[in-house]
Structure 1
Amino acid sequence: MNFRTITRIVGLLIMIFSVTMIIPGVVALIYNDGAGRAFSKTFFVALTIGFLLWLPNRNQKQELKSREGFLIVALFWSVLGSVGALPFLFAEKPNLSVADAFFESFSGLTTTGATVIVGLDDLPKAILFYRQMLQWLGGMGIIVLAVAILPLLGIGGMQLYRAETPGPLKDTKMQPRIAETAKTLWIIYVSLTAACALALWFAGMSIFDAICHSFATIAIGGFSTYDASIGHFNSTTINSIISVFLFISGCNFALHFAALTGKSLKVFWKDIEFKVYLGIHVVLIAICTYVLWSHSIYPSLGENLNQAFFQVESMATTAGFSTANFSQWPLFLPMILICASFIGGCAGSTGGGMKVIRILLLYLQGARELKRLVHPNAIYSIKLGKKALPERIIEAVWGFFSAYVLVFIISLLALIALGMDEFSAFSAVAATLNNLGPGLGTVASNFSSVSDGAKWVLLLDMFFGRLEVFTLLVLLTPAFWKA
């Protein structure tokens, strides 16, 4: 393990992150909201930390191994989340404790969208913008951005990309070189963000709100600039725009790339994961629309459909936006939507959860076992389309599922031990581990009432969810640290 090379890279990435503090600083100057000093302090602190880590190790340019890539990703997200908490600590408004500042920072960076802040409507514009920017940077993964320039610094990026990219098929690349892959991802990401911002602006949002909510939408984050979230705008058009872009962002970005280069949308329909993803959302929208309509929650069928479409996309993609307190809907709907967040988006998307491809593979494996009960001597292979998958991938999916459930159960028991009721604890762990945001019970609106001890547990769940469990768990194994 080359710790000096690792330290050098982490230092470089922190210095890159420090530069982003300039943007909310400029927002503070534009709106003259008095929050600029918090970002200038953070800029100098982060730049100093990064420089001190980089300077003694500036000549260490050895090629990374897989183990080192996983360690850098875990270290960087830990350090970045910690540095990201500084503006919340330095700012006079909101006046957050250390636990709350770290919770808000990690929630933004991991695109969870759970908040401890009450009174968003009165916060400085720069703080509001910073929360959204954290989600946007975390949505695709700031490390993927850094991978595009690491080769220029003498470091190959594939190991970082493998550790950062969600989904079980991590060796799939859109371009032969990893730097080109990272650049392509960000071009698509920025283009979708710009398109979403323009659409929201034309639909009636201010330029500031349109940019902020486009950040959270494409990142599938869920932070808003208002306590009432999207419900503040009371617009079916805005609901529909955000729903469409959430669905797009929940798709595998490799499909977006293939569609753009091939100039055809057929690649989506040829992808079995996308078809399952689409099918799940259509069924959920139909169920929610029927239940809302049968209970006369909204006056017209069109409004019931609009609300169902929005809330399904928000919850099933793990964004966590809201137009109303959906916990007040018939309890069946909040529960089924919380369960849908365990599925989440497609592999290679900005969504959370276990990913559609893993759920599909678990289903195919279960179906194969049923066939084996009937024909125990038969040999069945699991296929995606016409391609048979190696058993190693199936085993990895089962391993991931087991680890996910284990983390969930341990976290649930920890929250109950810390005094949270069972119902709220279940939804809080689901909301953070799936990077969803809102929960049910005492965490339906925000997490301000949660004890500090429980916040640290939930913060760790966000971390596990964002890095898909294994990236962190592998660091706890003795084999990882052996030479």
Structure 2
Amino acid sequence: MHYRVILRILGILLMVFSITMLPPIAVSLFYDDGHDYAFVGAFAITITTGFLIWLPVYRVRQDLRTRDGFLITVLFWVVLGMFGAVPLILSQSPHLTVVDAVFESLSGLTTTGATVITGIDALPKSILYYRQQLQWLGGMGIIVLAVAILPMLGIGGMQLYRAETPGPVKDSKLTPRITETAKALWYIYLSLTIACALGYWAAGMTPFDAIGHSFSTVAIGGFSTHDASIGYFDSSVIEAICIFFMVISAVNFSLHFFAWRQKTILHYFQDPEFQFYVSILAAVTLITMLVLVSTETYAPIDSMRKSIFMVVSIATTTGFATADFAHWPVMLPFMLFVAAFAGGCAGSTGGGMKVIRVLLILKQGYREIMRLVHPNAVIPVKLGNKPISDRVLEAVWGFFSVYLIVFIIMLIALLGTGLDQVTAWSAVGAALNNLGPGLGDVAVYYGNLNETAKWILCFAMLLGRLEVFTLLVLFTPAFWKR
């Protein structure tokens, strides 16, 4: 393990992260909200710490190994989560405890969208902007930026890319050079954000709300500048724009890349994961709509409008709201919440287990059924016309198994802190899937939970963002052996 080069990288990344404190300072001065001191203090603390870490090892030049990449990725998210909490601790509105500030910071950076804050409408503009910015950076920007910038500093980026990029097949690259891949993904991410902000603005949002909500929409985050979330605007046009960008942001970004490179969209409809992803959204939406209409919860038009928005929001793990789905009738709250376990597509900003893994598990299950009928037949599992190797299928099943085991352990831990079953179950699911809103006592916000439960959920959010294995591998003795 190259600890000196790891410290050098962390020092550089902390100094880079300190720059993200400058836009909130500008927002604070522009709106004269009196909270610029919190970000000035956070900037000074972050850049000084980063410099002190970097200075003793700034001459170190070594190639990163895969193990180094895993450690850096985990440390990066943990350290940024801690330093991202500093402005929230220093601020007088809201004046959060350490655990609440770290929870809010990690929730933003991991694009979970769970909050411990109430009275969001009354918060200073700089704090509101900062929360949205955390999600935007966490959505896809931080590691992509790091991968694009680090090679210019003499630090290889492929190990970071392998450690952080979601999906069962991690070694596929869109371009021969990882830097070019990172830049391509970054340009797509930035372009979607700008297009989303312009759409919101044209639909009637203020420029501040449009920028803030575009950050959390494209990041599949769910933070809002209002307590009522997207429902605050009560606009079908804004909801339609939000639905569109939530759907495409939860699609594999490699499909967006090829659409931009080849100037065609036909490959979307030929992609098995995309087909399955759209099918899930359509099926869950139809069931939700039928139940809402049959139970007369809303008028038919309102049922359609709220069904489409809430299904897309929850299933893609965004977490925006136009209705309180936790109190919908029959099985709807449970069904929507379970849909979030599939989440977005691999290679997207969405959370959850990823649609492609669910698809492969179903295909493997179908193959086992067919083997009962035809014991001697050779039945390959295919995605489209491409056979999937048993090694990939084993990895998917391994991920699924560990995911469930981690879920159960954390559920038991939360129950041990005194939470009721519904709250504990949904809180773990919302954190592990990077969803945000849950059921029971966490349907609206997480501020009433005890401190132990919040720390457990912070760990769950990191597990979800790093897709479980990247974090758990650090707890194995083999990882630390020379």
Verify same fold: TM over 0.5: yes
Q: Specify the alignment match of 1:454 in structure 2.
A: 453
Q: Specify the alignment match of 2:107 in structure 1.
A: 107
2: CA distance, partners of 1:246 / 1:322: 13
1: CA distance, partners of 2:267 / 2:63: 35
Give the CA deviation at 1:141. Answer: 4.3
- Describe how 1:85-234 pairs up with structure 2 within 5 A: 85-234=85-234
Conserved 8 A contact 1:141-1:164: no
Q: Specify the alignment match of 1:415 in structure 2.
A: 414
Q: Specify the alignment match of 2:76 in structure 1.
A: 76
Conserved 8 A contact 1:298-1:304: yes
Conserved 8 A contact 2:25-2:39: yes
Q: Specify the alignment match of 1:282 in structure 2.
A: 282
Conserved 8 A contact 1:240-1:306: no
1: CA distance, partners of 2:89 / 2:38: 8
% identical aligned pairs = 59
2: CA distance, partners of 1:220 / 1:331: 27
Q: Specify the alignment match of 2:465 in structure 1.
A: 466
Conserved 8 A contact 2:310-2:323: no
Conserved 8 A contact 1:144-1:164: no
- Give the letter aligned to residue 219 of structure 2: A
- Give the letter aligned to residue 220 of structure 2: I
Q: Specify the alignment match of 1:324 in structure 2.
A: 323
Give the CA deviation at 1:134. Answer: 0.2
State yes or no: 1:23 paired with 2:23.
Answer: yes
Conserved 8 A contact 2:197-2:213: yes
Q: Specify the alignment match of 2:358 in structure 1.
A: 359
My pick for the range that moved more, 107-116 or 361-370, is 361-370
Give the CA deviation at 1:7. Answer: 0.6
Q: Specify the alignment match of 1:55 in structure 2.
A: 55
1: CA distance, partners of 2:27 / 2:44: 18
Give the CA deviation at 1:260. Answer: 1.0
Query: Deviations 1:268-327 (Å, cap 9, x if unpaired)?
Result: 01110000001111111111111111122222x222111111001100000011012111
Report how many aligned residue pairs link the two structures: 482
SS state at 1:247 partner: helix
Pairwise CA RMSD: 0.8
Q: Specify the alignment match of 2:38 in structure 1.
A: 38
Q: Specify the alignment match of 1:480 in structure 2.
A: 479
Query: Deviations 1:353-409 (Å, cap 9, x if unpaired)?
Result: 000000011011111111122222222221111111221111111111111101100
Q: 1:331 to 1:426 in 2, by over 3 A?
A: farther
State yes or no: 1:371 paired with 2:370.
Answer: yes
Q: 1:93 to 1:64 in 2, by over 3 A?
A: same
- Give the letter aligned to residue 165 of structure 1: T
1: CA distance, partners of 2:253 / 2:61: 31
State yes or no: 1:67 paired with 2:64.
Answer: no
TM-score, L = length of structure 1: 0.99
1: CA distance, partners of 2:59 / 2:395: 37
SS state at 1:471 partner: helix
2: CA distance, partners of 1:149 / 1:224: 30
What stretches of structure 1 of length at least 5 have no aligned partner? Answer: none
- Give the letter aligned to residue 425 of structure 1: A
Query: Deviations 1:385-437 (Å, cap 9, x if unpaired)?
Result: 11112211111111111111011001100110000001111111111100000
Conserved 8 A contact 2:14-2:80: yes
Give the CA deviation at 1:144. Answer: 1.6
2: CA distance, partners of 1:331 / 1:16: 49
2: CA distance, partners of 1:284 / 1:302: 17
What stretches of structure 2 of length at least 5 have no aligned partner? Answer: none
2: CA distance, partners of 1:94 / 1:330: 35
Conserved 8 A contact 2:141-2:186: no
Give the CA deviation at 1:477. Answer: 1.0
Query: Deviations 1:110-149 (Å, cap 9, x if unpaired)?
Result: 0000000010010000000000000000000402211101
2: CA distance, partners of 1:280 / 1:164: 26
SS state at 1:21 partner: helix
1: CA distance, partners of 2:192 / 2:246: 10
SS state at 1:149 partner: helix
TM-score, L = length of structure 2: 0.99
Conserved 8 A contact 2:112-2:436: yes
